Amino acid sequence: MRRILIIGGGTGSTMLANRLPHRDFEVTLLSASAEHMFQPSLLYVAFANASANIVRDERRLLSRHVRFALEKVTRIDLPHRTVKAESGVQYEYDVVVLATGADTDPGQIPGLSEVNERFGDYHSTVAQAQKLWRSLDGSRAARSRSDRLRRSAFARRRRLRAFC
């Protein structure tokens, strides 16, 4: 039986771990977090005010045959096929999968950190996505009020023209 070691607790690693046949593979998933956030749903939180209930317990998302360890990886030794965790535990594998996801770095674009801080974003946390929704919702409300005023002013001008 081949030992598969998956590093990362995101959507890709969770799906892979669950899809590997347990008759053929001994699967271990290492994640630095016990929580799994389905990041694509942040778009729905930020732009549609969808439910923010997108964080789940990673263990509950994994099949029974998948071994889960709450571990932060500190070293990968490819020649010896081992991974060392912050706890000191060393994991051996036949195949290692790196699926740690991506983190954005707003500091790479001057001013983007300040924009994210002020308005929120749709790619980092539920709280930031909710902040973006509130920013956009406030903007929509203001735009709606100005549209109503503009329409009523236009209607008044039409009535005046019709009267004259």
Per-residue pLDDT of the chain (164 residues; tens, 9 = 90+): 999 999 999 999 999 999 999 999 999 999 999 999 888 888 888 888 888 788 899 999 999 999 999 999 999 999 999 999 999 999 999 999 999 988 889 999 999 999 999 999 988 889 999 999 999 887 665 455 555 555 565 555 555 555 44
State the pTM of this model.
0.74
Amino acid identity of residue 157, one-letter, is R
**Domains, the chain:** 2-102 (3.50.50.60), 108-163 (no CATH)
Strand partners, 75: 84
User: In whole angstroms, how far apart are CA 24 and each of 11, 65, 133?
Assistant: 22, 11, 46
Strand partners, 21: none
Instruction: Spell out the residues 6+ positions from residue 129 whose beta carbon is closer than 8 angstroms to its own.
Output: 42, 43, 45, 46, 52, 120, 121, 122
Two tokens, residue 7: 């590093």
**Helix 112-119 vs helix 126-163: crossing angle, to nearest 10:** 80
d(CA 78, CA 68) in angstroms, rounded, equals 21
Strand partners, 76: 83
What are the phi and psi torsion angles at 149 (to 5°)?
Answer: -65, -45
Predicted local distance difference test score (pLDDT) of residue 152:
60
Predicted local distance difference test score (pLDDT) of residue 53:
80
d(CA 127, CA 58) in angstroms, rounded, equals 20
